[in-house]
Amino acid sequence: MSKTIAGFSKLTKAEKINWIVDTYFSNSENAKGILKQYWNTDEKLQQLHDEFIENTITNYYLPLGVAPNFLINDKLYTIPMAIEESSVVAAASKAAKFWLDRGGFKTEVISTKKIGQVHFIFNGDFEKLTQFFNTIKSKLIKETKSITANMEKRGGGIIDIELRDKSQDINGYYQLHASFETLDAMGANFINSCLEQFAKTFKREAQNFDLFSDLEKQIEIIMSILSNYVPDCLVRAEVSCHVDNLTENKNISSRAFAQKFVQAVNIAEIEPYRAVTHNKGVMNGIDAVVLATGNDFRAIEACVHAYAARNGKYSSLTHAKIEDDTFKFWIEIPLALGTVGGLTSLHPLVKLALELLHKPSAKELMQIIAVAGLAQNFAALRSLTTTGIQEGHMKMHLKNILNQFEATDNEKKTLTEHFKNNTVTHSAVVDAIHQLRAKN
């Protein structure tokens, strides 16, 4: 039976596990064994993992795979992907190989601007607030110099600060809307530290501004925090080839395939029900590389989906067209990433993943990850518009079903061969397993 506990975080790891298994599991020794099974035998490495978060009891493994043959701006990459979905790495690899012979992927970083805001309440005359802001703007920047010095040496720092009036939405609500360049760092701590200093300076200087009444001097800071919505931290990735070079499936002509593919993208551009699934496919590729490289996939997801709805209706992240017999497929997507700091300098597999990618800068990583998303989406749409999504997906899922039934190596070999020419469904695999075992 569940029960509360005081001071849980102060318990040792062993004490936490004992309390959990004794409280929640009928077979406490089995539960404890499963938890310990995933500990790293290297105590120093396990301690590193334990200290990533609070109340760690074990490690949760995801497969780390690679998708080779990505030609990006004429440079070859093998892309690391951490994901549990069976078909993702295979689909990315297949798309990479397809475009390898057609010029590869072309990419460019459009902008790397990041955003943070100081949210505050001001009860008074907006014109006076504007005058106050213009008077102290330079001081806001000056008083962050101890925070920004190292970033500025590398070419980054504060780009600008704006005063924004949001009082029509919430009475008395205004913002200091700041933009930043953080180079190879994701920059969350840097941005938040700057914002908190802005807030202190802003509130203090208001007390001494002669044009403010006593009420106007009482500016209330609500919060100071970066935004994960970075619509101007933008990267573009594209593939293109002559329509005739799209031929791969004997059952459909290259032109018919190109037209059908473009229509499929057009549907995702105007139909939100389709767009959500369409973009989920894009994020299959993006999240897998974001996770493998130690970046924040939750922030990326939140930003990307907000960007997909930026025009008031949720729409496709990718676009396609046929122009002068040339098929073009592209994505423009906001990606705020880092290659220094955080897990990038702590997690051994993250370090390995970044080295596999030739130790990219944040801008280079933006381009690689955008390509992963575009490749994934191309693979999904190619299947959807030709053979259907289930044929390839279920064949990849076959291994998982066989593992659920603890199939032996011989059973796996026999059934894999059987389903090369038969439709894979969960029930069909179960029937085949039972029939095979009945013979034996």
114 is an active site residue? no
φ and ψ at residue 64, rounded to 5 degrees: -110, 110
**Residue 238 annotated in active site:** no
User: Six-digit token pair at 120?
Assistant: 């505050």
Contact status, residue 308 vs residue 317, Cβ threshold 8 Å: yes
* d(C-alpha 198, C-alpha 200), whole Å: 6
The alpha carbon of 62 is separated from its chain's Cα centroid by a whole number of angstroms, namely 16
Please give the sequence-ordered ranges of beta strands (E in DSSP) within 351-409, or none if there are none: none
Neighbouring residues of 42: CB distance < 8 A, sequence distance ≥ 6: none
Q: Which DSSP helix (H) or strand (E) runs through 241?
A: strand 234-242
φ and ψ of 4, to 5 deg: -80, 165
Q: Largest Cα–Cα distance in the chain?
A: 93
Which amino acid, residue 163? L
Q: Say which of 106, 139, 260, 280 is annotated catalytic.
A: 280
Decide the pairing of beta strands 173-181 and 234-242: unpaired
Which residue out of 50, 205, 296, 364 is catalytically annotated?
A: 296
User: Catalytic pick from 32, 113, 347, 393?
Assistant: 393
Spatial distance between the Cα atoms of 399 and 124, rounded to a whole number of angstroms: 66
Q: Which stretches of 116-237 are DSSP H helices?
A: 126-142, 145-153, 188-206
Residue 169: HSE in the Cβ half-sphere, 13 Å Cα cutoff: 7
Q: Report d(CA 314, CA 271) in Å as an integer.
A: 8
CA 392-333-295 angle, to 5 degrees, is 80
**Any catalytic annotation for residue 296?**
yes
**Is 280 a known active-site residue?**
yes
CA–CA separation, 145 vs 141, rounded Å? 7
Q: Going by DSSP bridges, is the β-strand pair 173-181/114-121 parallel, antiparallel, or unpaired?
A: antiparallel
Choose the catalytic residue: 85, 108, 271, 301. Answer: 85
Q: Which residues are identified as catalytic?
A: 85, 280, 296, 393
